[in-house]
């Protein structure tokens, strides 16, 4: 029986015999009695196993190491102790798999840095039990949102011969033997697997746009890669991204969807990972649940870039970067603005020079793009209406000296039943950091890949 099942219906199970398997997360032995906290990971909670001298092999059992896998048969009874409703009074305990004494994870507090070095073991620690279950619940919340709203889930390709917006940050993928290249002094793409230069996709937006023009509502949710050397708490080289794309939808429409999605997944996670979120609220960020609950009740403002610049200019704060129309919004500005509005808000209508070429151009030199800014974290993700006009798109690409023939099919999409459409791209791990209160992206990523580190 799974521990989750026992918690779900322990009242019906009282005084009955059950069998559970799991790992020892705590083992306190006294002369006449022993207590084991047993976890099988099917829920955040553990079950207390009690055994006494009446059990066969009492001495051997009391020596079973922390971390070992065991099987317990016993009777579920109301617990005389406080702190739990029931406990498992054991009749038989069998060792399944011993845990050697050099086990790095001991029943004490380890630093998160230490646990990162034990990435293959850290999911057993309570903190990572919480984080990785929330990660799973949040992923399912995202699929659930799009399913309920009739979106198609698209698996866009990772391997790509085109380069969306990742110039210079793209990993190259090859089957050429590098040593052979060094030896012969020759790079031979005709011998490479695809017969040409190929890299790892930095965005699925373009492919999503092609599908949006067939299915109206589509999203991708998969890994994305950037060879970004930044050593910040927000950067990993491999991360998951959610990119919806919606036809017949303008910037206002996509902001509605973004707000609705964010609120839906927060609500879903609070409901479906209750124990984990309470743990994170207690041990990681006091007030976490309250902070998230507040978001659910507030309407996200939509503030044009030019108004934000005005607000920043009027402030008496001494910014390192002087706020000025045409200049980017720095982290310090984001912080000021989110404090100012006290609520998530969309920073909209940016000067086109600050944003990507594919955003819808407006007559006043801005583009119909927006960033969602969150208190405490700043920009979480960006969105835009796409330029659906062939001529405007091409002229902007020419201004930027882009090679139009490398984007042939993307451009051609505007010739065949083009329509207004919009989309956004959420960095999944950043959203997860926001929801768990964890301040390092390495700790919400099962096996983080960063500059100079690809272990496990």
Q: Which of residues 235-254 bind its own copies (CB under 8 A)?
A: 237-238, 240, 247-248
Query: How large is the C-alpha radius of gyration of the chain?
Result: 27
Interaction between residue 231 and its own copies (CB under 8 A): no
Instruction: Specify whether the CB–CB gap between 67 and 97 falls below 8 A.
Output: no
Interaction between residue 443 and its own copies (CB under 8 A): no
Per CB under 8 A, the segment of 22-30, 290-298, 320-328, 349-357 that binds its own copies is 22-30
CB of 100 to its own copies, least distance (A): 4
Question: Which residue from 300, 164, 132, 149 is spatially nearest to 219, judged by alpha carbons?
Answer: 149
Exactly one of 94, 140, 289, 327 binds its own copies (CB under 8 A); that residue is 140
Exactly one of 7, 51, 132, 336 binds its own copies (CB under 8 A); that residue is 132
8-state DSSP, 67: T
Interaction between residue 222 and its own copies (CB under 8 A): yes
Q: How far is CA 356 from CA 233, 238, 268, 407, 446, in A?
A: 25, 22, 32, 14, 31
Comparison of 90 and 220: residue with beta carbon closer to its own copies: 220
Site size toward its own copies, by CB under 8 A: 106
Interaction between residue 184 and its own copies (CB under 8 A): yes
- Name the one residue in this structure whose structure tokens are 């279950």: 133
Residue 369: strand pairing partners: 384
Comparison of 125 and 308: residue with beta carbon closer to its own copies: 125
Residue 247: strand pairing partners: 421
Comparison of 227 and 402: residue with beta carbon closer to its own copies: 227
The two structure tokens encoding residue 384? 């835009």
Comparison of 133 and 396: residue with beta carbon closer to its own copies: 133
- Is the torsion defined by CA of 105, 106, 107, 109 positive or negative? negative
- d(CA 321, CA 20) in angstroms, rounded, equals 60
Residue 18: strand pairing partners: 74
Comparison of 106 and 293: residue with beta carbon closer to its own copies: 106
- Residues 141-180 vs its own copies: string with x where CB under 8 A? --x---x--xxxxxxxxxxxxx--------xxxxxx-xx-
Find the binding residues for its own copies in span 275-334 (CB under 8 A). none
Q: How far is CA 189 from CA 181, 199, 269, 405, in A?
A: 11, 13, 47, 20
Find the binding residues for its own copies in span 36-95 (CB under 8 A). 40-42, 67-69
- Residues 345-384 vs its own copies: string with x where CB under 8 A? ----------------------------------------
Q: Judging by DSSP bridges, how do beta strands 217-225 and 152-154 pair with one another?
A: parallel
């Amino acid at each position: 029986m799974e521990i989750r099942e026992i918690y779900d219906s322990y009242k019906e199970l009282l005084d009955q015999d059950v069998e559970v398997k799991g790992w020892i997360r705590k083992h306190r032995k006294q002369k006449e009695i022993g207590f084991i906290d047993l976890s099988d990971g099917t829920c955040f909670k553990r079950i207390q196993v009690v055994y006494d001298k009446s059990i066969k092999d009492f001495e051997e059992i009391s020596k079973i190491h922390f971390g070992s896998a065991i099987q317990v048969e016993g009777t579920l009874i109301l617990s005389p102790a406080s702190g739990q409703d029931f406990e498992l009074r054991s009749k038989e305990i069998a060792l399944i798999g011993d845990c050697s004494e050099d086990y790095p994870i001991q029943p004490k507090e380890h630093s998160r840095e230490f646990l990162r070095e034990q990435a293959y073991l850290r999911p057993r620690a309570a903190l990572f039990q919480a984080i990785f279950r929330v990660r799973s619940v949040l992923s399912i919340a995202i699929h659930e949102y799009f399913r309920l709203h009739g979106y198609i889930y698209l698996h866009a390709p990772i391997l790509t011969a085109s380069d969306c917006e990742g110039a210079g940050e793209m990993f190259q993928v090859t089957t050429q033997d590098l040593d052979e290249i060094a030896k012969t002094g020759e790079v031979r793409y005709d011998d490479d697997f695809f017969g040409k230069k190929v890299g790892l996709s930095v965005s699925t937006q373009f492919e999503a746009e092609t599908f949006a023009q067939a299915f109206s509502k589509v999203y991708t949710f998969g890994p994305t890669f950037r060879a970004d050397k930044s050593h910040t708490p927000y950067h990993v080289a491999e991360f998951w991204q959610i990119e919806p794309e919606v036809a017949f939808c303008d910037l206002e429409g996509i902001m509605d969807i973004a707000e609705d999605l964010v609120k839906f997944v927060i609500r879903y996670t609070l409901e479906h990972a209750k124990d984990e979120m309470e743990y994170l609220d207690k041990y990681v960020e006091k007030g976490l649940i309250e902070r998230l609950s507040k978001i659910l009740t507030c309407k996200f403002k939509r503030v044009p870039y030019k108004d934000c610049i005005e607000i920043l200019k009027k402030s008496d704060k001494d910014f390192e970067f002087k706020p000025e129309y045409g200049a980017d919004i720095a982290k310090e500005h984001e912080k000021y603005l989110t404090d100012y509005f006290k609520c998530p808000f969309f920073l909209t209508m940016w000067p086109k020079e600050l944003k990507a070429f594919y955003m819808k151009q407006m007559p006043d030199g801005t583009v119909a793009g927006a960033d969602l800014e969150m208190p405490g974290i700043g920009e979480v993700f960006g969105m835009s209406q796409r330029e659906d006009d062939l001529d405007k798109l091409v002229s902007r690409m020419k201004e930027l000296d882009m090679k139009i023939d490398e984007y042939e099919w993307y451009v051609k999409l505007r010739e065949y039943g083009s329509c207004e459409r919009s989309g956004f791209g959420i960095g999944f791990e950043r959203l997860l950091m926001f929801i768990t209160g964890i301040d390092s992206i390495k700790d919400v990523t099962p096996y983080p890949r960063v500059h100079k580190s690809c272990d496990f």
